[in-house]
A and B are shown apart, each in its own frame.
Chain A
């Protein structure tokens, strides 16, 4: 029997007086390309941060790869994070390293015995396979938004992750780059057997490439859409409105 990657049991999270998530119970299974959608400010990003232990829930229990987060020691957690990688919305490249060093950095740190030229060759291969066309020696602040996004995805892929948590991969990108990122998602998902959990506003890509959509609204898990490729309409008018507007914007 498969264990879920993440399972939330009655999880609530507050910031001050503001409730962000309330009584969430959900399982996310391996091998799926799950999209998390909803209006801004409903706690989608908080959901991801909670799942990887960057924040602690106020109530409830979270299991990551079958192990409860509350019982996990920090060293165990960082061992698990190597296989479960979070890609932030902001590309968060290390601004003291060049593009190629940024991509090679995690692998070199985890395996200090590896030969740097070999790692950098591998990094170049990964970057090229993602369709990166810039030079490898430039600093992150000279990259365009799209390039920085590709570099941050490449950096995560260097570690051969089992699961990727991606926060808004297509935000602020033009349509061509968006399709490129969608292709990357599908390819990594299919080729490398890597599950992806994506927070996104991009309804079109969610409906075309997603395996499952979790729709959050007003601190709650509002709808769970299985098989979005066959999605036509939903009993809930709110969900319908969201998806109809989303196809235009």
Chain B
């Protein structure tokens, strides 16, 4: 299977301080990577570096392109829109656009062929996330869970090969969290998407993900790799869960 995301000798630069992530990871479609760690350990910075919002150095293979940065640099995409979806921690919805427009905005930059089937796609997604009734509303009229669902759905409308979510379950009540996680899980289970997300719950990471990246409070990796390897190294955890 072709790897969608490969990392080697990866360094991050939060607050201009080099921080070794040093991880060797190889992820392909259908995999899911959970990033766990205390607050402020650089989970967001790692996710942002994958879409060119934070500098990194090292080797990175993303889809078909290969990047080798000996010096810290922002990732530059050859084309404007790669099939990568990124959901921000703070939703980043546009306050001046309605729910519908927020969703269709993501599709607006796509090729002609795909825009023709966009409306039905949007409708299906809106119904799936339960926002069809409130599609004319503006983001400020939505509850926290609804906003988050919309933010995640907005990344899904591009049918991304890599789906990156920054703490999509933080601050949600269990019912909303469940519905969002089911949505993400279904996307991964179709087998064409790689999911990379940071989260807070260890139980969830251990039960539903194929790969793990654990960071300590200063941002150094404690564990990185397959979940089976993790259980091999820590058999007592298998026993507990």
Binding site for B on A (CB under 8 A): 37-41, 144-146, 168, 171-178, 201, 203, 241-243, 245-249
Contact = CB atoms under 8 A, between A and B. Distances in A.
Contacts of A177: 38-39
Contacts of B172: 40, 201, 249
Contact of B201 (A37, A172, A242, A248): A248
B61 to A, nearest CB: 29
B167 interface: yes
A245 B177 contact: yes
A249 B204 contact: yes
A236 B194 CA distance: 38
A177 B207 CA distance: 22
B202 A41 contact: no
Contact of A176 (B38, B173, B178): B38
A249 B38 contact: no
B149 to A, nearest CB: 11
B169 A172 contact: no
Counting chain B CB atoms within 10 Å of each CB, which of A41, A168, A242 scores highest? A41
B175 A146 contact: no
Nearest to B203: A248
A146 B39 contact: yes
B37 interface: yes
B40 interface: yes
B30 interface: no
28 contacts: A39-B173, A39-B175, A40-B144, A40-B146, A40-B172, A41-B143, A146-B40, A171-B170, A171-B171, A172-B167, A172-B170, A174-B38, A175-B200, A176-B38, A201-B171, A201-B172, A201-B177, A242-B173, A242-B174, A245-B174, A245-B175, A245-B178, A248-B174, A248-B201, A248-B204, A249-B172, A249-B177, A249-B178
Contact of A175 (B144, B178, B201): B201
Contacts of A146: 38-40
B58 interface: no
B88 to A, nearest CB: 13
B40 A144 contact: yes
Given A39-B145, A146-B38, A203 B174 contact: yes
A175 B202 contact: yes
B220 interface: no
B209 interface: no
